[in-house]
Structures are given as structure tokens and as C-alpha cells.
Amino acid sequence: MQSSFRFTLLVFCIFLASCSLSAQESPRVRNFLPDDYARQNQNWSLAQSPEGWIWAGNNGGLLEYDGARWQNWALPDRQTVRAVSIGPQGEIFCGGFAEFGFWKREADGQLRYRSLSHDVRSNRMGKEEIWHIFQAQGCVYFQSFSVIYKYDFQRITEIIPPEAVMFATVIDGRILIPVIGQGLYELMPDGTFGRVPGTEVLKDRIVQFLLPSGDGEIWVGTTNNGMYVLQNGACFPWQHPLNDEFKTLQLNKAIRLKDGGVAVGTILGGIFILSPDGVLRYRLNRSNGLQNNTVLALMEDRDGNLWAGLDRGIDFVQLRSPLAFFDDQAGKIGAVYTATQWRGKLYLGTNQGVFFRPVKLPKEQNNRAFQLVEGSQGQVWELKVYDDQLICGHNSGTFRIEGDVARKISGMTGGWSTIRMPSQPDVLLQGTYTGLACFRKDPAGNWFFSHKIAGFSEPVREIAFDENGNLWATHPNWGLFLLRISNDLGRVEELRTLTKADGLPSDFHLDLVSIREQLFVNTDICPVAPRLEADKKVWFDWDIRQRQPRHKWLEGTGEEYFVMDSMGLWLETSEKRVPLPLQLIPRYENVVLLPDSSYLFCLESGYALFDRRLLHNSPTLSRLPVGPVLRLVQSSDGMLHIPDSNLQFSYAQNHLKFVFALPFFERGPKFSWRLDGYSKNWSDWQSSAEKEFANLSEGRYTLRVRSDVSDTETTLVFRILPPWYRSRWAYLIYISLIAAGFWQLERYNRRRLDRQRRQLETEKEREILVLEVENKSRELSNAAFNLIRKNEALQGLKDELLASPNDARTLQKMVRHIDEHLEGDHDWEIFEESFNRVHDDFFKRLMQQYPDLTQGDLRLAAYLKMNLSSKEIAPLLNISVRGIENKRYRLRKKLGLSEEANLAEFIMAF
């Protein structure tokens, strides 16, 4: 019975905690489900590396998140990773059952695991599970519930505590360890343990965490006994209203935040965020964003935001964001269309009525939810305060809100937009479903419905006066009106309906907004400024600053205004452009400036508050000072490359995939890229954090990557080397081959020229020899002819002497002397010598083949070789022509010629 009562009380306390959130704004929580990171539900430990990546110990292994993608790795035997810690050189230390070690990123960008537990020589290691990793005094400590392993980056030392221990904590350089059943101990540098004085009260408590307070105090969180404070050797319960609640929710984890506050994680009640002075700022659980109420790990990242490892999933809590959210997940108040603060209360106009609660909830009313204003049920379009009276434009008319009651003051349906007459402060003009309504004050100063303005019955969603006093009004669906109302406000004297034909970019979905005291018309294309000339000609100035089509402006304060475009919602100030991760109600976008200078954004399931005081000092509002990080480049051969300034790829690797990331976690960033040398234009914004380029030609490229949350552009220069047949070495080979070819061609030409030269020289020598032979032949012929003439002359002289009657003796002597000349061999020897010079070896060859030839036969053959006739040969041989014929006959016989053969031709061809 008693246990049943305690259980009921526990459930009731949890119910109260969740109910209080129905009236409390909280930071935006981004959920990462198991499906997102593709591993199991439970996440036991969290850490952040110097690059900004988030690491988590999960039941399924080690998880990594770089802002764009989740990756995971497994321990050798796929153990659960209970603990994660980042080492001084970027090591990712991990621990699980019977295993601990670290991961290290290698040159190829991949993580490689090195086991340290294999170096442990103790039998205990096979039975221990590492639940906690901490670093102190230049060493890394791996802690199970019964053993601590100290790693000094050289060797591992085993430390045995007095009893089973919980999680150790390093405070001011001291290693404090809760020992179950004994209190707190300090681990000394020599490996011994010393009891912390005053902690005996904790010996029957299970201590889950220790927190330094900064003023010498240590907060001690126990599982079922709430929080204690250790100070000056004394340990006593934490004196705080939350402590009783903590006793029922099972404290599990806690961390001290950078701003001095504290985040406390529980098993049953989610997360409590306390300010530096101990005041509760937020309660986070399933009712306002967490996936699960069981908090297994907590970590504050370098930007001051909170990460929670849960029993199911991982959650990111945007603590440093100036935005706080009220999420009406149960749908009890509906979609918020308008809001205001009045008399210390926040009023919301929703599609279900008007709801209110105190702006600041006293502690005793912390569980108070929004209350419905009686009589306000239905669609609310507008809440505005005029002269300390709250006027409500409603679907069924217009109401004056008096505390928690709505009193109808007008039956004209659809009180869309109400403004004060510029020259008559006691008159309100309202646009409704059926035209324009006029409100005035009664003698008591209360607003009341005066009359409907005649001459105009179109539905009017928004109305506004320009600087010249012209009234502009928009139809809820189509068209823009320009009206002139009579001085007595009784009727519309002049009406013009303006459409696209009059210069508007679009006819549909128009509304009015005042930006920096200038009236603009939002259209489907872009905002335009209406102008009315003295001749009543209307024209429009297009927004020349439009960044992209289909954007609209929303009113802010002073120089500030809001822009909605395809990228989302942005706050424009005179100094910067701030992204806001919000989705307003389509076509009914509304941002309300509250009296405390905060902006309230109307959302479909609640609202968001923007603290303008954080506009200039919130890291979330500033564009990131760094651009996207190029993590890896994968080439077509599957190899991974770390991006650097000397990155180059072979032509066979010209299919490249670039992987980039950005440590921005408020939402998934979008990326755009441009590859100089491949494209001149930036790509469209895309959520994917990788880009592939196929079949890149050789050359130098510059990859440029930007994100929608950073003003910084990241660049990577790389080269695609030409194919081997177009490489530098190939060209050297080609040049060498060409040079060798030219050299061979030159050699060939030289040889050919040498042959031609030699041939020419030979031909020239031959010609010279021919000429010499011809000359010698002519000389020989001339000599022969001279002999012939001489012999003929002598023969004639001989004949004459014989016929002369002179002295016979004397004549006989002359005859003998002439015979000696005619028959002498001297002339023949001269002739033979000349003949041999012309016809080399003629006689020798002739004698070799015909050895029977006589000297006379040789002489006849020589004369025939010279192509002399028988008549010409006869004087040379000093015989008659008949004798020559006989000699020719005998020579033919010796040469073996037939009668048909020509002797002269045979001799000349020989």
C-alpha cells in the first residue's frame, strides 16, 4: 500500500512538471532519431573534437556527426561504447565491455583503432566494462565500477579502489571518486586513495555526479536522495525548492555550463537548466521537445549549446539561441495568428480564441497554463491595445478584452485590421469581411462601434495610410484598393481598384507593410512601393534589392525588418542579416513587437520569442566565421584523400567525390558549390554535403563551397593530370621520338645525298672517262687515219717512183727505205698502246678465249673494234682490200662465227 502511494506521488510530480511546461517557453530542441544515425537507441557518452564534430558512445558503436552526416564505427567485437573522450592530439578514446583504446585519423582520412586493453596483463580486464573516461595530470583514465586503468601514453597502470566506485570527477586538479558505501575519496598521484572529510553522510547514497560551483562548493547529485552541497568539510542537503523534486526523478548526469549555470539530467524527468544563481530557467522533457525523459549523457559544445544522450536518440538544445519556443503539441490553444502584452499578461489570438497568462510567472504559479478568455472562442485575427484598451478583431466581430472576459463591441464579422485615423486620434478604422468599420470613444473613454462606412462593401484584410494620407486596402485574395473617405467619415467618395494592369507585379495574395516609415505592398513576386502623383496617376517602385523571386517583407522596429524568401526567414538590420529557423503560418505571416522589445513569431503550433537584447552578442545570430570544411576527396579508384594545397589526381582518377561538412547544428545547413574550370555559376542550394564530378579533363580546378549559414567561402585547388599519353614524360618521349625521327630522316637524307653525290661524281667521272675515251678514241682514230694517210701517201710515192724512169739504183734504195716505214712495227706499237688505254684488256680477253689468234688477227680485230671498214684497214696493214677480206674470213673461222654473223658487230660488242 505504501509503495503504491509512493508510485502515485511520483507520477503526480512528473505530471506537474510536464503541466508547468504548458505555460513556459523553452529553447528549440533538435531531435536526432536512431533512424538518423542508423544505430541503436541508447547513447551513453558525448564529446566534441577540436574540429567541432560531435562524438557519441552508442549501444551499436561509436557515432560521429559533422553537421551534415552521421558516421559510425565499431569496436573489435562490436561492443557497446559506454564512454567517449577526446585526447590532446585528437584521439577519440573509447571504452566498452572488456575493451578500451582509441581511434586516430590516418593520412587517408580514415579512422584506425588501436586497442589498449590488449596491453593489460590482468585477468580482471575480461570481466570489466569501461563506463567512464576522464583526463587529468597528462594521463587518461579508463574507469569501470571496480578498476581504474591509467594510461600515460607509454604504458597502462592498474589502480584498484577501496570498493566499487561511481564516476570520478576532476575538480581543481583533484580526482574525486565516489566509493559506494563509504563516501568520497581522492585519488592521489601515487595511486593511493584518501577519504574526503565530511562525506560520510554519502556512504549510503549512490553518488551520480560531482559539480564545482566556482566558490569552493561542490554539488553532489545522488540517485534517489537529491542534491547535496560539500563545503568546508561539511556535506548537507541542497536548500532549493527543486531538491524535493529531484529526489523523485533520479538524478543521473549534470554539467556546469560556460555561463555559470547548470544542466541536470534525470532518469524520469528530462533536463533541468538552472541559471548561475540557481533559478530554474527551463525544464525540458517529452512535452516540450525531448525524445525521451531518460538522460544518459550531457555535454555543452563550444558554442554553449547543450547535447543530451538519451535512452532513445540524441537531442540538441539551443541554449545560446535568442529564440525561445512555446510548443502547443497537444493543440490546446491552436495556431497563433496574433499576440500582445497588456497589463502584465501575454495574450494570444489563435484559431480557437484568445488565451492569456502572466508574462512572468511567480514560483507559486509555475504550473499555471494559458487560460481561455471567456466569450472569445473562434478565429482571432488581431489583438491591439489602443489607449490602454485591448481590442480583439474576431471572426464573429470585434471585442474589447476586459481581463479574462471578451465583450463584443461590433457585430461586423471579420475584424481583420484596425488602425488609428492619422488626424483624429479618437477614431479607429477597421477592415472587415464586408467593408470598413468606424470606432469612436464614448464619454467614459471606451471604444465602441460607430458606423459602417458607406460606398464600399468589399472584404478588406489590411488597411494603411501612406505619408500623404491616402488609404490603401488589400483584398484577402485579389486586388489592391485606393480609397478616399469623406471628411465626416460617412462614405467612400473615391475608389480605385488596382491590379496587374496598373503596374503591380501580381494581383493575388497582397498585403501591406510599413518598412522604415515607407509603405510597401507584398506581392507574389516581391514587395513594391506604391506612388500617387499629383495627377492621381498610380505607379509602383519595384524592390531593386530583391535577392531572388517570391519574397516578402514583414515589419520590425526602427531600421529592422524581416524578409521571407526561399531560404527561410531573415532579420535584416543595418549591420547584418540574421537567419531565423522558423516557419510562419503561410499567407498569414505575423511578427509582433512586444512592449519589452522582444519579437513574438506566430506559429502553427505555438509561438517563438526573440530576445533582441541578444542581437549583438549571440553566436547563433551571427554568420559563422568559418566556411564549410572539405573533409575528404574520393577518387574513382576508391582511394580517399585529405584535401591539401598540393592535391592532384591521375587521369584515371578523374571521377571525384568531394565530402564537406560544417559544425553548425541548429539546423541542417545547405551548401552551394562552383568549380572554376568546369562551371561559371554557383549551384542551387542543396542539403547534400557532397558533390561528384565525373570525367574531368586534365587541368587546374578550384572548388568553391559556401553555406547558407556562413559568409566565408572555402576553396580547394587541385589538378587532374593528363593521361599517360599526354603527360610530361610522354611529351618528352614524343619529342625524343620526333627528334630521333628527324635525325634518322636527316641521316637518310644525308646518305641519299651522299649516294647521289657519289653517283653524280661517278657519273661525272664516267662522263670524264667517256670523254677521255672518246678523246682517245678520236686520237686513236686520228692516229690510225694519219697512218692510213701516211701509208697511202708513201704507197703513192712508191708507185710514182716505180713508174719514174730515174736511176734504178737510187730509186730502189728509196723504195727500200719506204718499205721499211710501211712494214715497221713502231707505228703499231704506238697504236696498240693507245688502243689498250681506251679498250682495257681487250687483247688479253680476246687471247684468253681465242688463243690461236695471230698478231695479224689481233691487229685486224683492233681495227674492227674501232669500226673501220675493209677499205680503211687495208692501208694500215699494207695489203689490198682483197687481202683484208681474206683476213676477215680467217678471223671469222678462228672466232667460230657463222656465215650469217656480223664480224664487226661481234668484235665491237666483245
pLDDT digits (tens, 9 = 90+) for 464-480: 998 888 899 999 988 89
Confirm if 428 and 418 have CB atoms less than 8 A apart.
yes
Whether the model pTM is above 0.85: no
Give me the phi and psi of 820, to 5 degrees please.
-60, -40
Q: How far is CA 317 from the centre of its chain?
A: 27
CA distance 714 to 691: 14
Dump the DSSP string for 794-838: HHHHHHHHHH--S-HHHHHHHHHHHHHHHH-SHHHHHHHHHHHHH
Cell matching residue 867: 669500226
The highest-confidence range among 29-33, 328-332, 663-667, 675-679, by mean pLDDT, is 29-33
Alpha helices in 191-291 (DSSP H): 241-249
The answer to which of 196-200, 545-549, 903-907 has the lowest mean pLDDT is 545-549
CA distance 337 to 348: 8
pLDDT of amino acid 21: 35
Mean pLDDT (whole number) for 650-675: 91
Structure-model confidence comparison of residues 728 and 564, the more confident one: 564
Q: Is the pLDDT of residue 364 over 80?
A: no
Mean pLDDT (whole number) for 76-93: 94
Dump the DSSP string for 292-335: -S-EEEEEE-TTS-EEEEESSSEEEE-TT-SEEEEE-TT-SS--
Cell matching residue 43: 547513447
Cell matching residue 646: 598540393
The predicted-structure confidence for 417-454, as pLDDT tens digits, reads as follows 999 998 888 999 999 999 999 999 999 999 999 999 99
pLDDT band at 16 (very low <50, low <70, confident <90, very high): very low
What percent of the chain shows pLDDT beyond 70?
Answer: 87
109: left (phi over 0), alpha (psi -120 to 50) or beta: left
Q: Is the pLDDT of residue 694 over 60?
A: yes
> Which of helix, strand or coil describes residue 755?
helix
pLDDT of amino acid 506: 84
pLDDT band at 905 (very low <50, low <70, confident <90, very high): confident
Scored b (16 or more CB within 10 A) or e, 222-253 reads bbebbbbbbeeeebebbebebeebbbbbbbbb
| Pick from 368, 371, 372, 402: nearest CA to 385 | 402
Q: Is the pLDDT of residue 12 over 50?
A: no
Alpha helices in 516-626 (DSSP H): none
Which residues lie closer than 8 Å to 844 by C-beta, 6 or more apart?
A: none
Cell matching residue 500: 496587374
Cell matching residue 165: 566506485
Q: Is the pLDDT of residue 176 over 80?
A: yes
Eight-class DSSP state of 868: -
Q: Is the pLDDT of residue 226 over 80?
A: yes
Mean pLDDT over the full length of the chain = 86
The predicted-structure confidence for 452-466, as pLDDT tens digits, reads as follows 999 999 999 999 998
Confirm if 46 and 84 have CB atoms less than 8 A apart.
yes
Angle between helix axes 826-838 and 728-803 (nearest 10 degrees) is 160
Classify strands 699-707 and 671-676 as parallel, antiparallel or unpaired.
antiparallel
End-to-end CA distance of the chain: 152
pLDDT band at 543 (very low <50, low <70, confident <90, very high): low
pLDDT band at 790 (very low <50, low <70, confident <90, very high): low
CA distance 333 to 761: 119
Q: Is the pLDDT of residue 139 over 70?
A: yes
pLDDT of amino acid 812: 72
CA distance 623 to 571: 12
pLDDT of amino acid 143: 95
The highest-confidence range among 371-375, 578-582, 813-817, by mean pLDDT, is 371-375
Other CB atoms within 10 Å distance of the CB of residue 521: 25
pLDDT band at 295 (very low <50, low <70, confident <90, very high): very high
Mean pLDDT (whole number) for 12-27: 49
What percent of the chain shows pLDDT beyond 90?
Answer: 49
pLDDT of amino acid 366: 46
Which residues lie closer than 8 Å to 159 by C-beta, 6 or more apart?
A: 147, 148, 149, 150, 187, 191
CA distance 519 to 513: 6
**Residues paired with 418 in a beta bridge:** 430
Q: Is the pLDDT of residue 544 over 50?
A: no
CA distance 39 to 21: 31
pLDDT of amino acid 789: 62
Please tell me the total number of residues recorded for the chain in this structure: 910
Q: Is the pLDDT of residue 712 over 80?
A: yes
| Pick from 299, 208, 311: nearest CA to 255 | 299
Cα angle at 94 between 93 and 100, to 5 degrees? 105
pLDDT band at 865 (very low <50, low <70, confident <90, very high): confident
pLDDT of amino acid 3: 40
CA distance 35 to 151: 36
pLDDT of amino acid 92: 96
Q: In what order do the strands lie in the sheet with 371-372?
A: 336-342, 345-350, 353-358, 371-372
Cell matching residue 368: 499555471
Q: Is the pLDDT of residue 74 over 80?
A: yes
pLDDT of amino acid 804: 64
Q: Please return the burial class of 78, using the count of CB atoms within 10 Å of its CB with bins 0-12, 13-18 and 19+.
A: exposed
Structure-model confidence comparison of residues 87 and 25, the more confident one: 87
The predicted-structure confidence for 406-417, as pLDDT tens digits, reads as follows 999 999 999 999
pLDDT of amino acid 368: 61
The answer to which of 4-18, 41-55, 579-593 has the lowest mean pLDDT is 4-18
Q: Is the pLDDT of residue 542 over 80?
A: no
Which residues lie closer than 8 Å to 885 by C-beta, 6 or more apart?
A: 870
Q: Is the pLDDT of residue 572 over 80?
A: yes
> CA of 814: how far to CAs of 802, 827, 877, in Å?
10, 20, 20
Structure-model confidence comparison of residues 290 and 710, the more confident one: 290
